[in-house]
Structure 1
Amino acid sequence: MAGASLLTLLDDISVILDDVSVMTKVAAKKTAGVLGDDLALNAEQVTGVRAERELPVVWAVAKGSFINKLILVPAALLISTVYPPLVTFLLMCGGLFLSYEGAEKIVHKFWPHILPHDEEQEARRKANADDSVDMVAFEKQKIKGAIRTDFILSAEIIVIALSAAAGATLLEKSLVLSIIAVAITVGVYGLVAGIVKMDDAGLYLRQQSGSFKQKVGDLLLSTAPKLMKFLSIAGTLAMFLVGGGILVHGIDFLHHGVEDLAHLTGIFESVTTMLLNAVVGLIVGLVVLFIMTMIGKWRGKDDGQAAH
């Protein structure tokens, strides 16, 4: 009897692990777009930090990201258990946020005069040019800002992963979210550390003897800025694909409309669906950006009038 019970237990564990594996793969696929943006954003956050401080800053943000996940995973599990509809609401909020942030990046790139002046970027530029600035204190501010941004993106990733495990048991959800949380944190910040040190590695190899090493060094030096640019573009596109996809799936008439239009394209249905999701994300993001910009201007006017 004991042997039979043990075999039954092992079989149950095997089934659970198989289910968790499948759900984790689905969750990883759904969160891939957000991960691209997370990677690009965190690599960009380190830009401007002095070379010898890049890895310590990445490590500090990574530790903050782990703490974020320790807060978010139990909170997501609690919400899904106590009031599951709230997960859908949070998912839609995340879709709006991603679309808004993507639209902000595009407008800032092509029509920067429309948006308010970026005081943080200006402060970063001045701090790097001024030797009298306490860079340790400045780094701490950057780290805090990066951890806050990571919290928002991590929340979106956790909620998307949770939606992929809908209908699963609490144990299976816990395992899926824990695996995703650890994997994305290690993966993202490991890649960020590698990306920010590419130019240093290239410079080191460029100074070595031997034509092969020098050629590899030249390749790394020329690739690093191109990779950063590619990640920035890919991350922005991912915002619209993921954000728009979330909104489309959460709004019935949009979902059916996109399905009907995509179905007309035949073999290109899946590509058309992605493009339509991106278009929805772009349009919604621009609308939200317009509203937020107007609110910001009205507040500025009110503050100015109050000061007088």
Structure 2
Amino acid sequence: MASGLAALLDDIAGITRLAAASLDDIGAAAGRAGTKAVGVVIDDTAVTPRYVMGLSPARELPIIGKIAMGSLRNKLLILLPVALLLSAFAPWALTPLLMIGGAYLCFEGAEKLWEAMSGHAAVAEAADTATTPEALEQQKVSGAVKTDFILSAEIMAIALAEVSDGSIVSQAVALALVAIAITVGVYGAVAIIVKLDDIGLHLARRPSPMTQSIGRGMVKAMPVIMTALAAIGTAAMIWVGGGIIVHGLEGLGWGTPAHLIHDAAEGVAGAVSGLHGVIAWTVTAIGSGIVGLIVGGVIAVVMHKWKHRNAH
């Protein structure tokens, strides 16, 4: 009896060790996947704050919370199962679907750029303020969650590539960990960014003159920061979308755009001493942005012509 119990305990201990090792492997894989997706994460963080610009400060955090929940639903309830199914039964479809999403990002970014340059953005903003606060909030949340879906798809695809050698269960757990960690990180950072003015006001009321000065500086800087983030967010949609298309074309067998951008990045970085990685990344982003602007611009022109024709 004692020997049987000892054997059972040994088996349980062995299973526990195996489970712990599996969890370590999954955690490591999730960490690698999250690291690979950091570029898209930065872009996501830059894109989101523009969706709360012009809204009541009291509604900023609730709106970010709604967008975060929508992002989590995108990742866990839609993208994770779809990614696993496509990986198992139709891996060839992942790249074309990502390219379609990338083209949408390019179009949205090009549309925003055209509105800003033509002055139509002010008209669109005026039209937004004419709606009820509830409708405007819902419109902002819906637009943010829609854009997040494309960026989240890219994040999940990158993560899936890192864990594709594991079992279906380990893939699912790793992707879920990446989804939760990145969503918390991105929208936590966004919440801090949009509330910097409130933090500045709090510091400005402190007794220390230095703290007051820092607080007043933060408050004065917020309009500039938010305007800059809006511009970065628009640029991010264009260069991320362009990058998705460039990598997708390379995966489908046409690597010329990717090779040209890579050669240009290495050439410029090699001609400048120091900061090789930063310069190479910047040139790559510019190259991807040019591709994204061309693709997005063509789609925007076609869409506007189609809308104009239907209007008449």
Q: Same fold (TM over 0.5)?
A: yes
Q: TM-score range by the shorter chain?
A: 0.7 to 0.9
Q: Can you list the C-alpha shifts for 1:184-212, whole angstroms capped at 9, x where unaligned?
A: 22222222222222112212332444423
Aligned residues: 296
Task: Answer whether contact 1:33 1:241 (CA < 8 A) is retained.
Answer: no
Take 1:4 and 1:221, find their aligned partners in 2: how far apart are those partners?
62
Aligned position for 1:121: 125
- Which amino acid is the alignment partner of residue 56 of structure 2? R
* Distance change in 2, residues 1:227/1:22 (3 Å): farther
Which residue identity does 1:81 align to in structure 2?
A
In the aligned structure 2, how far is the partner of 1:241 from the partner of 1:138? 28
Q: Which residue of 1 aligns with 2:3?
A: none
Contact 2:105 2:150 in 1 (8 A): no
**Residues 182-221 of structure 1 correspond to what in structure 2 (within 5 A)?**
182-221=180-219
Q: Is the 8 A contact 1:40 1:228 kept in 2?
A: no
Larger deviation, residues 47-56 vs 271-280: 271-280
> What is the aligned partner in structure 2 of residue 44 from structure 1?
50
- Which residues of 2 match residues 17-32 of structure 1 at below 5 A? 17-32=23-38
Q: Does 1:176 align with 2:182?
A: no
Change (3 A) 1:108 1:15: farther
In 2 relative to 1, CA 29–231 (structure 1 residues): closer, same or farther, beyond 3 Å? farther
Q: Determine if the alignment matches structure 1 residue 10 to structure 2 residue 16.
A: yes
Moved more, 32-41 or 91-100: 91-100
User: How far apart, in 1, do the equivalents of 2:109 and 2:141 lie?
Assistant: 22
Q: Unmatched 5+ residue regions in structure 2?
A: 1-6
Q: What percentage of aligned pairs have identical amino acids?
A: 37
- State the secondary structure of the residue aligned to 1:149: helix
Q: Which residue of 2 aligns with 1:85?
A: 92
Q: Give me the whole-angstrom Cα distance separating, in 2, the residues matched to 1:259 and 1:202.
A: 42
- Structure 2 contact 109–237 (Cα < 8 Å) conserved: yes
Q: CA 1:244–1:197 in structure 2 vs 1: closer, same or farther (change >3 Å)?
A: same
**Offset of residue 170 of structure 1:** 1.0
RMSD of aligned residue pairs (Cα, Å): 3.1
Alpha-carbon contact 1:262-1:270 (below 8 Å) kept = no
The aligned counterpart of 1:274 is 281
CA distance in 1, matches of 2:262, 2:121: 40
Partner of 1:34: 40
Amino acid of the structure 1 residue aligned with 2:144: A
Cross-structure match for 1:75: 82
Using the size of structure 2 for normalisation, the TM-score is 0.79
Q: TM-score, normalised by structure 1?
A: 0.80
> Which of 60, 75, 94 matches 1:54?
60
Q: Which residue of 2 aligns with 1:130?
A: none
Looking at structure 1, the residues matched to 142 and 266 of structure 2 have their Cα atoms a distance apart, in angstroms, of: 46
Report SS of the residue matched to 2:54.
coil
Residue 249 of structure 1 deviates from its aligned partner by: 3.6
Identify if the C-alpha distance between structure 1 residues 261 and 197 changes in structure 2 by more than 3 Å, giving closer, same or farther.
Answer: closer
Q: CA deviation at 1:299?
A: 1.3
Deviates more, 1:273-282 or 1:138-147: 273-282
Residues 99 and 240 of structure 1 are in contact (CA less than 8 Å); yes or no, is this contact kept in structure 2? yes
Q: 1:232 to 1:301 in 2, by over 3 A?
A: closer
Report Cα offsets for 1:80-112 as digits up to 9, x if no partner: 222121222223334434444455555555x43
Measured in 1, the distance between the counterparts of 2:100 and 2:210 equals: 51
